[in-house]
Structure 1
Amino acid sequence: MLLLICFAAHLGLQKRRLLRAKQRFFEQNGGLLLQQQLGTLASSGVAFKLFSEEEMSKATEGFAEARVLGRGGHGVVYKGVLADGSAVAVKKSRVVDARQVREFAREMLILSQINHRNVVKLLGCCLDVEVPMLVYEFVPNGSLHGHIHGGGGDGETRLPRLPPAARLRVAAESADALAYMHSSASPPVLHRDVKSANILLDGELAAKVSDFGASRLAPAAGEAAVATLVQGTLGYLDPEYLLTCQLTSKSDVYSFAVVVLELLTGRKAFAPVEDEEEEEEGSLAFFFVTAVQAGRHREIMDEEVREKVGVEVLDEIAELLMQCLSMASEERPTMKEVADKLQRLRSRACRSATNNPGINQASN
């Protein structure tokens, strides 16, 4: 009897310690601020929820390996099914720095209010854990990386390649989403890790820009850039940001240009020397700039893209991308200018293909 009493007391103590730890994590992750703002968000039509660790564990079957959608440098993304049957994507990060903890609640309030058809919707977060988890809408058709390169890496199955007109549409939609984040979100948001793996495709193969986990709020009026530790992915990183650690909206412009190059050439953003599938190792951006300077940019384009999109449109896209890839950020266009130009070029390409039913169907 005494042994049972001692065991029960021990269990009770452990439970109280666990509850205190959860409450401490909740508070240090900004849970009290978010709780206070939930009513305001709801009244403005924003459905944002604070999930418990138990809900997240149940939704992902204990974060089962079979539920993994993808892995990245910052963490793992799982497919979850909530109690109401709705599918979500749960991002479980590995680490978070002190600044991110301090700013987390504020940034969640801002990101939760972003409403754009081509941006993955943030539905909520889990704060009663040491490293907060993010809950996003589930996007069913995998990443753009998988559709370009025929497979998206860890946790992603082999995906069908996109036809040329769909590639132009995805480029235009993604540009529009980033332009919205830069120019229309309040305050503006810089993505900081634009890449093909962070652009998802929904059931209609429409683009959904995702993973704002590395994002930063844009500089306040009058400020030129945000000083920050360099984050990003090899092959997509803005050289100026890499050298100065000064993040600006033009850093996203550079990275996005590399994504468009992937769409047009079918090549990877960075090909290591041992990658035998690539003809040239190293940076795709450098490879493209060198080809343009030698007058060979048409040759490196995907053959089907070259045939169906047309060389005149491709020449204009190449000119735009050269501006985006300028070593000096002030010489690059804004994301809004890029989006407008791509939309006009896409419209021209579609008009020139009116006699080809296959192209018209792919562009819808």
Structure 2
Amino acid sequence: MAGGLFTPFILKRHIFFYLSFVLLHISKTTYATPPPSAKFEPRDVYMISCGAPGASQLDDGRTFRSDPDTASYLSTSTDIKISADNPPHASSGPLAPIYLTARVFTDQSTYSFYIAQPGRHWVRLHFFPLPNSHYNLSSATFSVNADSIVLLHGFSLPAIPPSPVIKEYLITTQSNTMKLSFSPLKGSVAFVNAIEVISAPPGLIPNTTSAAGTTTNGQIDLTNNALQVVYRLNMGGPLITPGNDTLSRYWLPDTTFLKLPGAAAAAWVPVNTIKYPDSGAMTPLIAPPTVYSTAQQMAQSNVTDARFNISWEMAAEPGFSYLVRLHFCDIVSKVLNNLYFNVYLNGLMGVPNLDLSSLTMGLAVTYYRDFVLDSSSISNSTILVQVGPASTSSGNPNAILNGLELMKISNAANSLDGFYAAKPKNNSVTKMVISAIGLAMAAIAMALVFTMFCRRRCEKPGWERKSSFSSWLMPLNASQSTSSFLSGYSKSSRSRFGSTRSKNGFSGIFMSGTYAVSRVFTFSEIQKATKNFDEKAVIGVGGFGKVYLGEIEDGTKLAIKRGNPSSDQGMHEFLTEIELLSKLRHRHLVSLIGCCDEKNEMILVYEYMANGTLRDHLYVGNGGGETGMPVLSWKKRLEISIGAAKGLHYLHTGAAQGIIHRDIKTTNILLDENFVAKVADFGLSKAAPSLEQTHVSTAVKGSFGYLDPEYFRRQQLTDKSDVYSFGVVLFEILCARPAINPALPRDQVNLAEWALQWHRKGQLDKIIDPTIAGTINPDSLNKFVDAAEKCLADYGVDRPTMGDVLWKLESALQLQVASPPIAESSGSGSGIEMPLKKMASQKNGLTGFDSFNDRSGTQIPPPLDQGR
């Protein structure tokens, strides 16, 4: 299942679980025949067993037509059909007959299917690299397109996968033809064992749905997007095969994905007790009753005041948004209105206080809810779905989930596999056009060479050119740099930038009026530095793209941020970073080393910060940070606070016109090898108001928990908005807990409000990070908290400047250093304490939480997995 593959046979190690489940309940539970409303007769049905001499009958009752019967659908230069030399076996058992033959393509080949009913269609591609003496399918590398949509790019399979691989998609077509094109990599082949193209029921996937963490008014249009089914889970129940599903789908058991299996307990009822709403808006086509007849509920839910969540964690691909469909059916309650629970997606609140009784007006009545997780909210290449009791729950708290579907949404490049556009059709007209363009370009090039030769012959010896600077410093226009991603962007944006390189290809100037980047890297240099963007070199993922650790020839390590050129937001942040960082140099700002503008790429190169983010070091022993990572001492925390304050103070006062960062948080404060703090990520930054202005009016952007409430209310940005965010950072440094934790009681969710409450009570010592609580000089603590409190004033006019904050923090450090040692270790001289060997999960009256790197600027830390 790694890498988002939908392989329903890989669960061999859970066979014992399935058999036990079935044997235990076989006398009570049967797979009931779906009611008449579940019947669906698709207009378009193509099921092909590629390379097979005759029809293939599957155990679930489906019949795949033989390849000769469908030969008229296929356009290929070579007719290659193969079968296995010896009947192969997957690790999950004997193979279905459709995996014993295959079609092989040595050149681009296309299946064309007539579509009688435009709309969404299932497209299922079946792959198994069966052993064959003529073709080594385990080394096949190829791409697959559905019309203009990229389904697979550079796809390959291991020599002997544990089971066949099924790639399942929902594609919308408005024409009367759908084309599936297979394109092998040069020197390789493409293959496919079986293909399904089948009409999907109207209304199965809505055209619009809500974004997770928004109100119901925050609708996202999915009309023109293709979807890839990545996971389909049956909570608390066994594997459901196509023969027992209303639309021939697989539903996998959820046990593999439970983050903490002990937090969940399976529940079930007889299938015939499941009811669908009388309105007809929901039928068994959405999900069969076998999905709703089982569920996962909270283990030991009868314990009064039990407060923990059930969590499922699934792999996700950064750079893509996901449609999440959750299926609910209250099969655990005895009376109505007794079950209230919250739903979280990657820490965002999906549904608060969900009451199924009020929505379905009954028990054991089916219900589902759709959400979209934006690509910016995908953290650490995972999606975390959680259910837990609502804080308003009365009686015995509980939470349930019956089923889950996770679908990847096609990106701006119309792709479901990276940022790759579909290749043009390989036909004679295209070749003629390309040839004509090539001849024209060659003629133009010859004319230019001839003109330059004639001009050089006419020049007088020693004649000095009038240009005051070398021509390679001049900004290029769009016609001069067709490979640049800027050439495809708006004219106004292109006019600000040019891309040039010196003759040796290793240095250049990236000009924009009055500022320049000292080095422009070639794309080949970037590839070499990152080992061709090796996934093992990824050190961070955010809304802009991935960040790689790179190393150039002289051994210098660099942080290389590779952006998405198809995103206007990414382009804006790219330009903002260059514009600001090329003008700024400060010890406490992350330095921009250079950039790359080739092959439609947006790549920024920064100095490498060896110790990562400040946040990574605050949550050691509390579910965050790496095992054995040292705990920051109070002295080191003060030094880091001072360094970040100096960087922010320079932004506000050191530039010709002040700069407002607008996204100050602990993940945007990085630490170098000596734990020197540097402010990073200037993609949301804005120029401060001029002397004639009091504020900048702009759309609200930033991170939940750090956002200035006055800026949020009035949409008027000032440098005091950064001061507020920095105040939250100071309390996060002191307390070592996230700025927002929606799993906690309401009065504790927001760190800033919670900390101020305890401070006003004079009991701030109760919420200090226990790993440093006994090492802080009281006077130093008072000075630090005084600075943080003033930063969090409701109105910007009442907040201090960063210069004032810096002065208080330096005073706090002096008081700490001047005081006698209080059980504080200097460690290795870095100002950090020795690594923790063990820490109790209980902290400040709260339980531990997961590390959460909200690089997008819009995420909330996840709720608890389990409490006490």
Q: How does 1:291-302 map to 2 (within 5 A)?
A: 291-302=758-769
Equivalent position of 1:71 in the other structure: 541
Alpha carbons of 1:126 and 1:243: their partners in 2 closer, same or farther (altered >3 Å)? Answer: farther
The one-letter amino acid paired with 1:340 is W
Separation of aligned partners in 2, 1:13 and 1:153: 59
- What does the per-residue CA deviation read over 1:202-235, in whole Å, with 9 as the maximum and x for residues that have no partner? 1111112111122122222221222222221111
Alpha carbons of 1:206 and 1:51: their partners in 2 closer, same or farther (altered >3 Å)? Answer: same
Separation of aligned partners in 2, 1:177 and 1:220: 21
Equivalent position of 1:319 in the other structure: 786
For 2:572, which of 100, 103, 111 is the aligned residue?
A: 100
- What does the per-residue CA deviation read over 1:12-33, in whole Å, with 9 as the maximum and x for residues that have no partner? 969x89x735371489554874
For 1:24, which of 487, 492, 510 is the aligned residue?
A: 487
Q: Secondary structure at the match of 1:51?
A: coil
Equivalent position of 2:662 in the other structure: 192
Structure of greater Rg = 2
Equivalent position of 1:303 in the other structure: 770
Separation of aligned partners in 2, 1:150 and 1:32: 44
Alpha carbons of 1:30 and 1:51: their partners in 2 closer, same or farther (altered >3 Å)? Answer: farther
Q: How does 1:203-218 map to 2 (within 5 A)?
A: 203-218=673-688
The one-letter amino acid paired with 1:177 is G
Q: How does 1:58-137 map to 2 (within 5 A)?
A: 58-94=528-564, 95-97=567-569, 100=572, 104=575, 108-128=578-598, 132-137=602-607
Q: Which has the higher contact order (CA 8 A, sep 6+)?
A: 1
Q: Secondary structure at the match of 1:290?
A: helix
Shift of 1:45: 12
Q: Secondary structure at the match of 1:70?
A: strand
Alpha carbons of 1:85 and 1:32: their partners in 2 closer, same or farther (altered >3 Å)? Answer: farther
Separation of aligned partners in 1, 2:599 and 2:621: 33
What percentage of residue pairs aligned between the two structures are identical? 31
Separation of aligned partners in 1, 2:731 and 2:632: 14
Shift of 1:321: 1.3
Q: Secondary structure at the match of 2:606?
A: strand
Equivalent position of 2:734 in the other structure: 264
Equivalent position of 1:330 in the other structure: 797
Shift of 1:331: 0.5
- What does the per-residue CA deviation read over 1:109-154, in whole Å, with 9 as the maximum and x for residues that have no partner? 4422322111110112223465733211111111110000139999
The one-letter amino acid paired with 1:123 is I
Q: Secondary structure at the match of 1:135?
A: strand
Maintained 8 Å contact 1:25/1:128: no
Alpha carbons of 1:348 and 1:24: their partners in 2 closer, same or farther (altered >3 Å)? Answer: same
Shift of 1:316: 2.4
For 1:344, which of 804, 811, 814 is the aligned residue?
A: 811
Alpha carbons of 1:36 and 1:47: their partners in 2 closer, same or farther (altered >3 Å)? Answer: closer
Q: Is 1:180 aligned to 2:650, yes or no? A: yes
Alpha carbons of 1:308 and 1:33: their partners in 2 closer, same or farther (altered >3 Å)? Answer: same
Alpha carbons of 1:204 and 1:284: their partners in 2 closer, same or farther (altered >3 Å)? Answer: same
Q: Which has the higher strand share?
A: 2
Separation of aligned partners in 2, 1:220 and 1:138: 34
Separation of aligned partners in 2, 1:153 and 1:76: 23
Separation of aligned partners in 1, 2:487 and 2:596: 13
Q: Which runs of 5+ in 1 are unaligned?
A: none
Alpha carbons of 1:110 and 1:253: their partners in 2 closer, same or farther (altered >3 Å)? Answer: same
Maintained 8 Å contact 2:779/2:812: no
Alpha carbons of 1:36 and 1:73: their partners in 2 closer, same or farther (altered >3 Å)? Answer: closer
Alpha carbons of 1:127 and 1:161: their partners in 2 closer, same or farther (altered >3 Å)? Answer: same
Shift of 1:76: 2.3
The one-letter amino acid paired with 1:24 is S
Separation of aligned partners in 2, 1:198 and 1:98: 17
Alpha carbons of 1:126 and 1:226: their partners in 2 closer, same or farther (altered >3 Å)? Answer: farther
Equivalent position of 1:282 in the other structure: 749
Equivalent position of 2:415 in the other structure: none
Separation of aligned partners in 1, 2:601 and 2:535: 19
Maintained 8 Å contact 1:26/1:32: no
Q: Is 1:49 aligned to 2:519, yes or no? A: yes
Alpha carbons of 1:130 and 1:192: their partners in 2 closer, same or farther (altered >3 Å)? Answer: farther
Q: Secondary structure at the match of 2:700?
A: coil
Separation of aligned partners in 1, 2:557 and 2:435: 35
For 2:634, which of 164, 183, 186 is the aligned residue?
A: 164
Shift of 1:295: 2.1
Separation of aligned partners in 1, 2:568 and 2:604: 13
Q: Is 1:142 aligned to 2:612, yes or no? A: yes
Separation of aligned partners in 2, 1:30 and 1:358: 54
Maintained 8 Å contact 1:140/1:201: yes
Alpha carbons of 1:112 and 1:20: their partners in 2 closer, same or farther (altered >3 Å)? Answer: closer
The one-letter amino acid paired with 2:652 is H
Equivalent position of 2:154 in the other structure: none
Separation of aligned partners in 1, 2:554 and 2:488: 27
Maintained 8 Å contact 1:60/1:67: yes
Shift of 1:362: 5.2
Separation of aligned partners in 1, 2:610 and 2:568: 28
Q: Secondary structure at the match of 1:49?
A: coil
Alpha carbons of 1:218 and 1:45: their partners in 2 closer, same or farther (altered >3 Å)? Answer: closer
Separation of aligned partners in 2, 1:259 and 1:202: 18
TM-score normalized by structure 1?
A: 0.82
For 2:692, which of 204, 216, 222 is the aligned residue?
A: 222
Maintained 8 Å contact 1:169/1:363: no
TM-score normalized by structure 2?
A: 0.37
- What does the per-residue CA deviation read over 1:157-195, in whole Å, with 9 as the maximum and x for residues that have no partner? 553321111111111111111101111123322111111
Separation of aligned partners in 1, 2:694 and 2:822: 48
- What does the per-residue CA deviation read over 1:259-307, in whole Å, with 9 as the maximum and x for residues that have no partner? 111111111111121x7xx997411101111112222222211234332
Shift of 1:350: 0.7
Q: Which has the higher helix share?
A: 1
The one-letter amino acid paired with 2:796 is S
The answer to which of 258-267 and 354-363 deviates more is 354-363
Alpha carbons of 1:311 and 1:289: their partners in 2 closer, same or farther (altered >3 Å)? Answer: same
The answer to which of 142-151 and 108-117 deviates more is 108-117
Task: Tell me the C-alpha RMSD between the 2 structures.
Answer: 3.9
The answer to which of 259-268 and 124-133 deviates more is 124-133
Q: Is 1:248 aligned to 2:733, yes or no? A: no
Maintained 8 Å contact 1:271/1:280: no
Q: Secondary structure at the match of 1:232?
A: coil
Maintained 8 Å contact 2:515/2:583: no
The answer to which of 66-75 and 285-294 deviates more is 66-75
Maintained 8 Å contact 1:68/1:77: yes
Separation of aligned partners in 2, 1:128 and 1:255: 36
Separation of aligned partners in 2, 1:161 and 1:279: 29
